[in-house]
Amino acid sequence: MNRHFSIYSKVAAAMIILAIVPLIIVGWRTVKINQQITQTNILEINSNRAANLANQIDTFLEELDRQVFLIKNSLAAPITWSDRQAILESLINTNENIISVSIGDETGQEIIKAYNPAREKMPRLISHQSEDLFQNFRKNPKILQRGKVLYQKNQPTLAILYPFIRQNFLFVVVSLEKIQQMVSETHWGRTGQALLLDNDGKILLGPAEEIGKTLPKVQGIQAALGIQGSGSSEFITSSGRKVVACFASLRSNKWKVLVQQDKAEAYTYVTAMERQAILLIVIVLVLAAITAYFLAKGLTNPVRDLIAGAQQIARRNFSVNITVKTKDELAELAETFNQMAHELKKYDEMQIEKILLEKSRTETVFSSIADGLILTDNNGQVLLINNRAREILGIGSEENVADKPLALLSPEKFWSDNLANLLNDNENQTRIIEKTSGSSVTWYLLVSQPIRPTEKLRNASGRIIVLRDITLEKELDQMKENFLHSITHDLRNPMTSIRGFLKFLLDGIGGPLTEQQKKMVETMDRASTRLLNMINDILDIAKLESGKMILTLGETRPEEIARRVLETLSPLAEKKAIKLSIQTANLKTIVADENLLERVFTNLVANAIKYTPQNGEIKIIFSDGPDFWRSEVVDNGEGIPLEYQKKIFDKFQQVAGQQKGGTGLGLTICKYIVEAHGGKIWVESELGQGSRFIFTIPKNLTFNHSISSSLDLKDKNTSNV
């Protein structure tokens, strides 16, 4: 017995899995939770840094705006220009960050100007008419305008234009060195730093190497720049560094404060936690493997001894004895195993004689059966054969055929071919074959049936084959058929004469008849017609079965045939107020025997009229397929029980309790005619729901098609020859 994995390896693996999997799941889940908490804390700290810096910058700009708005009121008073000059200089003196402040007119030309001599050495009155800042002021003269951050002698400056009286303005140039200092002082770790951005993501203030650069246009950054408030994102810098960034918006304008740090440095603690978790898992895995080794060894060694003992018992060595010293359930199992082996030894000694006796009885019964019997295994190897089967197959009584393939059992090719065919199907098979030897013919019935396991014989399998000589039964059937055909043929001629004379009587050629005599003669005429129809049906079936009826193939239209049949049978239907209709499919011209098809439609519709109640309905439905055409005769009559739906196509078969005249041969003739055309016919029905007789005819019939080539005769339905 091959084993891919030993029980030892399975136990050891199970113990390692039970030890390590929960640890991995819990540890990994804990690491992930800690990662999320740590990352959230880091982002929160950086968000606070960004918000604090943004608040400081807002305070700086708001204080400047407050001071400018205070002097605007003083400047707007009716005072001299020298007084205005003094007020401007007082603003310079109170705020050391202001480089210069001036009043400009509506053309953009400065009128008066005050400056900080420590920051501007050569002041002059200039025109701002061409500057974007002034142009924006002209468009919105009541709104404060801030310009772009400019660098003068490596120092950042900002120009601010404040609305003044009569479309004049105050033009303030302020140094951003203090803000630059705030930004520069906001740093931590090795890579943590702050940047001041405009609304396009351009770096205004920050490390010298970063100023003027624009942040990459990734989704997270663009989203942060587009909102008013705070946010966070991860992105790759222009130098290729992966960074974690937090944003905060200024209240006073659209600038953003960004604090960023290399992702590897920001999440150093998280990475360390992952490494520690992996190390812990490896240590536990090693310890679990060592523990599992010793535990599994203690569990599996007794099991291996039991397996070896079971293998000895399988070899019918019942003297085996297993010793286990674990003093636990395994020791109890070994003791129970030893007791079982002892009992099996006693039972084996008792059963040998009984088995031999049963075998002798089985062989005696098998050999005494009159039919030939062959027993094979699932592979077709012969296990047992009786004397009758040897006689039929031409095998000597002393010849050893055990384990011989069934297909090679007989020296005759006839039997080799037929026996080989029985192995092609796992289901029950029944065949009738004809064996010709010179002028003699022998018929055999072959039955092949698989052996099914039963509750008592769970391992039983194989196939049993029965060979039965049915030559006598076939000869009796043939004699019966010949007798029936002969009688019906001899009856037709006198019956024709009888009908002729009855016709003379009805026509008054033999003299006038009284009313009572006429009714008697009409009754005799109807009875003779029925009898003659029965005789004709029997003769037609005989012709169909013998292949003597020739198909007269020609081009025809089945829908036209059906219409003629309905017209012919309409008087019969009108007596019961039955509605006749046809549902066409516009079939093209087909090749078929028109007269025989008309007989099929006539028999099916006539039967439907018989079994359809008053005010019923009968329909003929046509449909067209790729390889065949199909017709259905549908009624709403009594319906046919399931157990009769196949029998009614056999000769003289009618549904019990539903006989309404007829010979019981009409559907048999329909079946033979349809099969003669290479088609199929069947019925679908439910009691009380009516019946649906369906037949199909192939489209590929040729003019050399004959009944003998397509009709399956009753005796050859299961024949191999």
Indicate where the chain has its CATH 3.30.450.20 domain(s).
Answer: 1-313, 369-547
pLDDT value at residue 696? 94
Superfamily of 549-698 according to CATH: Histidine kinase-like ATPase, C-terminal domain (3.30.565.10)
Mean pLDDT over 650-670 rounds to 75
Say whether pLDDT at 706 is over 60: no
Helical segments of 407-470, H only: 413-421
pLDDT value at residue 659? 55
Mean pLDDT over 49-58 rounds to 89
Say whether pLDDT at 528 is over 90: no
pLDDT value at residue 577? 93
Q: What is the dihedral of CA 253, 259, 263, 268, to 10 degrees?
A: -150
pLDDT in tens, 366-379: 767 778 888 888 88
* Distances in whole angstroms, Cα of residue 720 to Cα of each of 421, 445, 561: 9, 11, 37
Q: Treating both helix axes as pointing N-terminal to C-terminal, what angle do 471-506 and 515-546 enclose, rounded to 10 degrees?
A: 150
User: Which one is predicted more confidently, 150 or 228?
Assistant: 150
Superfamily of 369-547 according to CATH: PAS domain (3.30.450.20)
Q: Facing residues of 594 across strands?
A: none
pLDDT value at residue 356? 65
Comparing 214-228, 421-435, 543-557, 581-595, which segment has the lowest mean pLDDT?
Answer: 214-228
According to DSSP, residue 125 is labeled -
Mean pLDDT over 537-563 rounds to 78
pLDDT in tens, 193-213: 898 888 888 888 888 888 888
H/E stretch holding 525 reads helix 515-546
pLDDT value at residue 350? 67
Q: Which residue, among 195, 194, 178, has the nearest Cα to 60 in the 3D structure?
A: 178
Q: Treating both helix axes as pointing N-terminal to C-terminal, what angle do 7-75 and 81-94 enclose, rounded to 10 degrees?
A: 150
Confidence band of 712 (pLDDT split at 50, 70, 90): very low
pLDDT in tens, 87-98: 888 888 888 889
Identify residue 454 by its one-letter amino acid code. Answer: T
User: Which one is predicted more confidently, 618 or 701?
Assistant: 618
Residue 87 in tokens: 């007020």
Topology (CATH) of 1-313 = Beta-Lactamase (3.30.450)
Identify residue 315 by its one-letter amino acid code. Answer: R
Confidence band of 547 (pLDDT split at 50, 70, 90): low
For the whole model, what pTM was predicted?
A: 0.41
User: Which one is predicted more confidently, 504 or 453?
Assistant: 504
Q: Treating both helix axes as pointing N-terminal to C-terminal, what angle do 594-611 and 666-676 enclose, rounded to 10 degrees?
A: 150
pLDDT over 90 for what percent of the chain?
Answer: 12
H/E stretch holding 55 reads helix 7-75
Residue 23 in tokens: 């640890």
pLDDT in tens, 462-498: 888 888 888 888 888 778 677 766 766 677 678 778 8
Confidence band of 719 (pLDDT split at 50, 70, 90): very low
Residue 309 in tokens: 């003992």
Say whether pLDDT at 62 is over 70: yes
- The span from the CA of 34 to the CA of 274, in Å, is 10
Q: Residue 340, class by beta-carbon neighbours within 10 Å (0-12 exposed, 13-18 middle, 19+ buried)? A: middle
Confidence band of 720 (pLDDT split at 50, 70, 90): very low
- Rounded to the nearest integer, the mean pLDDT of the chain is 81
Mean pLDDT over 250-270 rounds to 84
Indicate where the chain has its CATH 3.30.565.10 domain(s).
Answer: 549-698
Mean pLDDT over 422-427 rounds to 69
